[in-house]
Structure 1
């Protein structure tokens, strides 16, 4: 068997294993989300969390440049009418191999969490019926709390305007929750401003998690009152 086929065999086996494993949420929750993933993300954050800027965003930029160069060469060959049968077969093979590689890597690093039982299962949350009066009571309470925080925010506006202070506050919030629920334990913090924050204002995202680097990216150019919801 040609050695060139080994990467394909490995990728296809991993692809099939991931697809099959994802069909069993209980197993995903226990073995991946509860055991494998915490180790993966801890290693990522230890390696990259200390860097003040987003390595994941740089990785995305380099990937975009790589794809643009590939597409440019692809269409240039077509324009020169040099696209023979081998060219098309090789192009399809490269595209499939790249897609499989991204799929496998994404799922192993984070994507399988989409198939876990979820936070509702962990916290044993029940979906109960509620009346209109209950909803209005919750809204009134939220308004009261927002007014209280507004007063605090006016006093501490300068402090809250510093990105690092917001990140530290978010981590402290997790530490407080972790005293009551182990699901909120957050070690080796890796929270950084997104290098694409201004672009996000037009595309509509306020933050995202980079599964390839383990970094939490925050759009820090949106109004302060929006950032806590990121």
Structure 2
């Protein structure tokens, strides 16, 4: 390829078969060619330098570094490991997980609280309404206009089924589609992952504490809920 052509050219030089062959590592230039990770890295290196040289030849200095970085961050396809095996695909997030009842004891005001939880991914997930009922005046949850509206420092409005036993069997939990918003402003609550179990929203206890700015401490093998301690701290 001749990089010394006139800078008046308005487009890249033709991507010819000779160009493709100059990039080839294993000799296979077909679209479905299998190459190793090491070969893919070398191919990406060649591609980046070819593109950068073309931009320079055309006098396209603007955003050149951004364009090169885009090329570098691209994920090559059809790669195999140097041992010949095909790399495992990236894990696909699943909307359904298994929730297992925990034996965690929750303490509130120096007494054991009637709070039950499921373990999901090694974390305690509790029913949002259970925590609201337990703390009484820390926050309220109201379903309005198809959304869960959260009110901080408000008396909890009891419905039914709060603080009920959950049994000992594991259950299927699905990512909740409930939209959580702040009741006073309508602003969407971000950074909150909720799972639906038996029609109820379960949220990580620490996320609830962080959301409403109270503390949860782990000591003596128990989870201590401290509504009068703020701000929330990560242990």
**Could you state the TM-score of these two structures normalised by the residue count of structure 2?**
0.19
Q: Point out which structure has higher relative CO (alpha carbons under 8 A, 6+ apart).
A: 1
Greater fraction helix: 1
